[in-house]
Structures are given as C-alpha cells and as structure tokens.
Amino acid sequence: MSREKGFTLIEVLVVAGITAFLSSLLIWNFSKSKINLDHSMNIMVADIRLAQEKTVSSTKYNSAYRCGYGIRYTTTSEYRMYAGPDSSLGTCGTQPNGRNYSAADGDIDITTFPLRDSPSVRLSGAFPDIFFEPPNPATFINNSALLNTAPGKIQLISPNAKCGVNPSSCRIICVYTSGRIDTGIGEVCP
C-alpha cells in the first residue's frame, strides 16, 4: 500500500476557510474602530460648533441672555455644554473663575453629551474649558482669548491605544482662540 505525503483537499479547504474567516473578522473590527473614532470626533465638533452658534446668535437660556456658552470636560466618556451667567447682571468676564465653568459664578450646565461610541471610544483625559463670548465673538481657551494662546486640544482614543505607537488609533480636535476648529489624526494639531 503506497501512501503519498500531502494534504487532502478537505484539509486545505478547512484551513483556507478558517483563515478567511479570521482575516475578515480582523479587518471588520479594525475598520469599525476607525469609523467609531471619526464618528465620535465629528459629533463632538458639531457640539462645539453648537455652543459657538448659540453665542453668535445670542440664544437665551432660562429666559435670559447669557455671557456666552462653553464646553467642558466631565469624564472620559462624556462632556458638557454650559451657559455663562445672566448678562443683565453686568458680571460677564469679571467672575472669580473667569470664563471657566463655575456654578458659584452663575454658570449653568445645559446638556451632557455622552460619547456616542463609548466604550470603543473615549476621551484621553481632561481638556481645557472652551468658552465663546459675544458680541465679537471671542473664543476663550482655559480663560484666555489671546491669539498666541495654545489651542484647546481634545483627544479621542480607542481603548488601550497608545497614540505615540499607533497614531491612527487617535483623533484630535483643536480649538483656536480665533474660533477655528480643526481635526486631525494623532496627537499634534494640524
């Protein structure tokens, strides 16, 4: 009885099927996490622009014109929009905490925005308060509106990601005191 060495057709098909299944699963998961990062980044940019729009249009909140609207960090899975104090009090910009959020200064949280794709996307850590103040409008990053102020950086990352090792697993939103909002990949503002 002669036995030739080699694989049967069934063995080859089983190995090829398993390899194809695992490859497609890895590709699908990788592209989904990238889509989640981009999706979350775009929604967060829209929320920042909403605060900017409310300021420019002098939107009332609780029947009062506000000193402006801002965005602040709360946790790695959510952030909040807040309204500045009532502008009729004449205290705009003179509060002890300036334009950074402070309930004691009359700031009010309006909306909590959970990250839409959490837990597959999270904020990498705290970011500075971003506040838009009419009538110019002025943009304040951590209480400064000077044009040479460093941009407010908001970084979104995939869980267990290291941006220095794999920049494609990170997205960055940069808000400048000029009012410009840019997005990019990695850790550096475009």
Mean pLDDT of the chain: 87
User: Which of the listed ranges 4-8, 9-13, 110-114 does the model predict with the highest average pLDDT?
Assistant: 110-114
Q: Would you state the pLDDT for residue 154? A: 95
pLDDT per residue over 22-63, tens digit each? 877 666 555 444 568 888 999 999 999 999 999 999 889 989
The answer to whether the Cα torsion of 43, 49, 55, 58 is positive or negative is negative
Q: Would you state the pLDDT for residue 25? A: 65
Partners of 142 in the β-ladder: none
Q: What's the whole-model pTM score?
A: 0.79
Mean pLDDT of 88-99: 84
Of the candidates 183, 123, 184, the residue with the CA atom closest to the CA atom of residue 159:
123
Q: Would you state the pLDDT for residue 16? A: 85
Percentage with pLDDT > 70 across the chain: 93
pLDDT per residue over 96-119, tens digit each? 788 999 999 899 999 999 987 777
pLDDT per residue over 74-83, tens digit each? 999 999 999 9
Q: What is the DSSP letter of 22?
A: H
- Is the predicted pLDDT of residue 189 greater than 80, yes or no? yes
Q: Which amino acid appears at position 49 of this protein?
A: R
Where residue 21 falls among pLDDT bands split at 50, 70, 90?
A: confident
- Is the predicted pLDDT of residue 174 greater than 60, yes or no? yes
Task: Report d(CA 82, CA 101) in Å as an integer.
Answer: 7
End-to-end CA distance of the chain: 71
Q: Would you state the pLDDT for residue 112? A: 95
In order of their start, the domains of the chain are 9-185 (3.55.40.10)
